[in-house]
Amino acid sequence: MIFGRNLFKFNHFLYLSNAALALLIGIFFFVGIGFFLAGQGEKTLATAPFTKQTPSIQQQDFTKIGEGALHLQVSSLSRMAKNIKNELLFIGIYPKEEKFVIGLKTSRERRIVSSSEPIFLGYSQDEQSQKKNLHFSNGKTSCYIKLKTGEGEVLSTEVFEEGQETSVFLAHKSSHLSKKEEDLLLQKKPFASLRQAKLWGSDKLLQQYGGETLRERKDKHRVEFQDSGFSYVLYLSEGDCLHFSGDKWEILPIDKPLQSVPLARIRSISSSYLAFEGWDELGHFSIPIKIYTQPLQRIQLKFEEIFSSVRLKTSSQISCLLGKKRVLMKKGDWWIKTNSTWHSVKTLEEMENILAHKVRGELFVFDGIEKSQGKTQIKGHFFDSMRTTMQGVSFLLPEKKRAKKGSGSSSERSFLPISKPSEDRNGYFKEPTAMEEDNPERVGLP
């Protein structure tokens, strides 16, 4: 009995031992599998960025080339290309025909060049430092560059050298000045005259009478500058480039090489303002300048005080008292008031000086005589001294009064609204023909 009971306990103990052993073996088995799977997982994670998460070419950002770690690509540039990269200045974009204003730091040269135009470069020895400096070459050399626009204010620059692979680098636009630096620069002569310039808008005289020769000026805006004690006026439009030459601003021809002088480009223009972008003579910095349109000038003329005792001399000519002097007027005559006195513009030189605002004063242009239904009308246009305002005038000479000697005083005429004249005639003012007397038209400037 006792033996059977002990045998039962021994068997029970053996059963529990086997179960514990099996459990322990199972634990070791699953732990081993866990380590194996973990090792496989680490391998998968380590290789995942290169196999499953590599972005497509479309997703990659190439705009950072040349920056950060990618800056190491500069080492692939040749010695000449590195020198060009360090010397080249991207000053700005000349908007007509996608042209660029570029320069070289050491030689202080500048040029306006076209997109993809070959720009030849070479070395010249400086007389003072005896160093060889990079310069623009007028002839062909073994090295040239081509430029094209990138995104934003960036130029993509290709360098072509004989015996070398083509190099490419980005040229960024010259950095802008701080507010303090801008204020200091604006106090200097060239940019002070830009800031103090006056915007007068379009020329009413040219819009009314300008012919084919002056067509390009009709819609341009006039800007008046003050330099070296005298004033002058330039006709400008958006995109024009100016350079400061001979103590005054001048329009820079598109094909003229740039010198080391201050530059200004008209970025935008409207009826109310004009925005310049100016560059210093080194081309290192640009500065924004905005000027505003001057108020319209009022015509301070009393027609009845100017014209009196009007008489019809011929079908194309009148006589009248202008002030205290009797004068003759024919179609196309200009009369200008300077120093409180009216006088006739007789020479082409004086006419050109008036157009250039070298001679200023209130201006009257006599359009001629019109006959309609037995009545005679005398027509013309008045302009203020800056020609921002134009006023048409027409007065009537009754036929019954015109037949009597001495008739046609100012009290006998009536002022009427003037109708818009017909199209321009090419050439300067000239005597009307017989056909023109019957069907008068506006006489045009060249």
The structure tokens listed for 367 are: 């359009």
85 φψ region: left (φ > 0), alpha (ψ -120 to 50), beta (else): alpha
In a domain, 5, yes or no: no
Distance of CA 362 to the CA centre of its chain: 32
User: Is 207 part of a structural domain of the chain?
Assistant: yes
Residue 325 resides in a domain? yes
Domain end: 148, 172, 196, which one? 172
Same domain (yes/no): 153, 82: yes
Q: How many CB atoms lie within 10 A of CB 188?
A: 11
CA distance 229 to 248: 11
Rounded (5°) CA angle 92-293-234 = 60
Task: Specify whether 363 is located in the same domain as 330.
Answer: yes
CA 308 distance to own-chain centroid: 49
Report d(CA 311, CA 327) in Å as an integer.
10
Coil/strand/helix, residue 309: strand
Distances (CA, A) of 304 to 320, 322, 367, 393, 415: 11, 10, 18, 11, 10
Q: Which long-range contacts (CB under 8 A, 24 or more apart) does 411-414 make?
A: 413/310, 413/378
Among the candidates 260, 292, 324, a domain finishes at: 292
Please report where in the chains the tokens 């305002």 appear, as a residue.
Answer: 389
Residue at 411 is within a domain? no
339 and 288, same domain (yes or no): no
Q: Which of 107, 139, 172 is the last residue of a domain?
A: 172
Q: Is 40 helix (H, G, I), strand (E, B) or coil?
A: helix
At 200 the pLDDT is 95
CA-CA distance, 147 to 170, in Å (whole number)? 10
Whether 250 and 286 map to the same domain: the answer is yes
Are residues 187 and 137 located together in one domain of the fold?
Answer: no
Q: Which helix (H) or strand (E) holds 225?
A: strand 221-227
The residue type at 398: P
Per DSSP, the three-state class of 350 is helix
Is 186 in the same domain as 286?
yes
Structure tokens belonging to residue 350: 């004086």
Please choose, from the candidates 178, 188, 445, 181, the residue with its C-alpha nearest in 3D space to the C-alpha of residue 334. Answer: 445
**How many domains would you assign to the chain?**
3
CB of 201 closer than 8 Å to CB of 434: no
Do residue 154 and residue 189 come from a single domain? no
**423 is a domain residue:** no
Residue 413 lies in a domain: no
CA angle at residue 16 from 10 to 17, to 5 degrees?
Answer: 85
- The one-digit pLDDT tens for each residue of the chain (446 residues) are 554 555 455 555 555 566 666 676 767 666 666 655 555 544 433 333 333 343 443 444 434 444 444 443 444 788 899 999 999 988 877 655 567 888 898 888 888 888 889 999 999 887 777 788 999 999 999 999 999 876 667 888 999 999 888 999 988 877 666 788 788 888 888 899 999 999 999 999 999 998 888 888 988 999 999 987 889 999 999 989 899 988 899 998 877 777 778 889 898 999 899 999 888 877 667 788 999 999 988 886 766 667 888 888 888 889 988 878 899 999 999 999 998 889 999 999 999 999 999 999 999 999 999 888 778 888 999 999 999 999 988 888 756 544 445 443 333 333 333 333 333 333 333 333 333 333 333 345 55
pLDDT at 29: 67
- My answer on whether 309 and 375 are in the same domain is yes
CA–CA distance, 308 with 410 (Å, rounded to integer): 5
With a CB cutoff of 8 Å and minimum separation 6, the contacts of 400 are none
Residue 11: inside a domain, yes or no?
no
Assigned domain for 410 exists: no
Residues 430/443, Cβ–Cβ less than 8 Å: yes
The residue segments making up the domain with residue 341 are: 303-396
Same domain, 239 and 332: no
Same domain for 339 and 319:
yes
Same domain, 327 and 283: no
pLDDT of residue 286: 78
Dihedrals φ, ψ of 118, to 5°? Answer: -70, 125
Q: Are residues 151 and 250 in the same domain?
A: no
Lookup: tokens for 131: 């160093």
